[in-house]
Structure 1
């Protein structure tokens, strides 16, 4: 039994992995068209889980650090809800061993950070629908305890978008503008290309398996160039 299964059985009851919403949360879009019958995949639950995760983490840091300003709280939240943190928590729970992927992803898709992070958010969304916010809150706090504590200690992923926004406002008096300039690949394995503009001209470019990841990469490049100028 995986750590994920033990945790879900404790929160939802025995046999949690066989509940329809949990099965859907653990079904990657690439698996939806492999069988003779259509199968619901986890993209909608990922969308919901992202919102639930953001709320739970934001409330945690709001209550934990009553004197921190909004900008610092935003960075703490971003460090926990980002793909690297989600995929790390998913690996610790051995989520990749129970996720269903299509043939196109069998060569390593179960270990791909984008697949793991999306499934982690989808599981949070499924638990929210199955048992409500308090149970989803318990899931987040247990599954991502390490990430929450490391973010609080300043040892996790840096939110380059927030850092760039603060620097560009301070140094240039403008906000960054992000533009999607290209995308490629099938729906379940896309790669996005983003430019960030400052003062009406492109100042950084980045790529990633989600728009958020590409924007972070573009912001990191723009921030480096801004600090060097």
Structure 2
């Protein structure tokens, strides 16, 4: 009998033990979710830095490169680039890039076409009474290498360009590089902001020169004006003499003097013989009283007899 009680007690103990263990299991079930809950605060902060990184990435190339919307280059160019890489490419000359594909040459190609289209449309709409020949001459002058290079120097864009160590200083860059820079900026702005942004950029810089050129009526061909006036007076054609040269062979400057009959005029230095001759002709016109400097630049007066001004 004791063995039966013992057996019964043993079975009761098992049941009791089972109840206890069941309690322990129940308690364990409670404790495990508690542990999971304790891990949640650790897991929850993890997405927050990701969200910050996503917001930083959404800010675009400017944020990634450290270039802010207040970049002084944006103010100088007059356009805030969404894709700053385009601006950098436009300001990168082939002499400093690893490959020509990484230079501004392709943007120059695009900008040349955009520039021509903007000027042609503007002239067509603004001057409906001008003949095709007049518009063609005006357009050719406005998109010329000389004009584009002049615009770059006037705006100071040349001080932003990246050039190789083998190149001369930015203040002495040839006109081909300066003109290419202007066209590259036109192309970059066109890709970044569209046709309206490119149009605004071009006309902002071109407009004063368009008006002045129309007032002069000769696309600043002062040699042609001087030639016509001298012939009208029966004095023969002007002649031009090289008075001096300076600079290396690849970037030589020339001093040219104009002369009509026995009268020689003030000489002029230029980055090419052609430019120096135009400057010399302008000096002659000033000294003869046929050009005055107005608010928009030199203005040719109504033709008069030149004979009275000659010695």
TM tier, shorter chain?
Answer: 0.5 to 0.7
Cα offset, 1:110, TM superposition = 5.5
Q: Show the 5 A alignment for 1:170-185.
A: none
Which residue of 199, 202, 226 maps to 1:137? 199
2:94 and 2:100 in contact (8 A); partners too = no
Which residue of 111, 118, 121 maps to 1:59? 121
Residues in 2 aligned to 1:112 and 1:145: alpha-carbon distance in whole angstroms: 24
Change (3 A) 1:110 1:78: same
What residue in structure 2 maps to residue 165 of structure 1? none
Change (3 A) 1:7 1:145: farther
Q: Show the 5 A alignment for 1:62-101.
A: 62-101=124-163
Change (3 A) 1:18 1:105: farther
Change (3 A) 1:53 1:99: same
Residues in 1 aligned to 2:71 and 2:123: alpha-carbon distance in whole angstroms: 29
Residues in 2 aligned to 1:41 and 1:137: alpha-carbon distance in whole angstroms: 23
Change (3 A) 1:90 1:78: same
Cα offset, 1:7, TM superposition = 4.6
* Unaligned ranges ≥5, structure 2: 1-69, 222-249, 251-273, 276-311
Residues in 1 aligned to 2:105 and 2:133: alpha-carbon distance in whole angstroms: 29
1:96 and 1:110 in contact (8 A); partners too = no
Which residue of 81, 87, 90 maps to 1:22? 87
1:101 and 1:110 in contact (8 A); partners too = no
Change (3 A) 1:29 1:46: same
User: What does the per-residue CA deviation read over 1:5-45, in whole Å, with 9 as the maximum and x for residues that have no partner?
Assistant: 4153x43x3xx498111111111111113xxx887101111
What residue in structure 2 maps to residue 49 of structure 1? 111
Change (3 A) 1:56 1:4: farther
The higher radius of gyration belongs to 2
Change (3 A) 1:109 1:31: farther
**Residue 6, structure 1, aligned to residue 75, structure 2:** yes
What residue in structure 1 maps to residue 179 of structure 2? 117
Query: SS at 2:181's partner residue?
Result: helix
Cα offset, 1:64, TM superposition = 1.4
* Unaligned ranges ≥5, structure 1: 159-188, 190-215, 218-229
1:61 and 1:73 in contact (8 A); partners too = yes
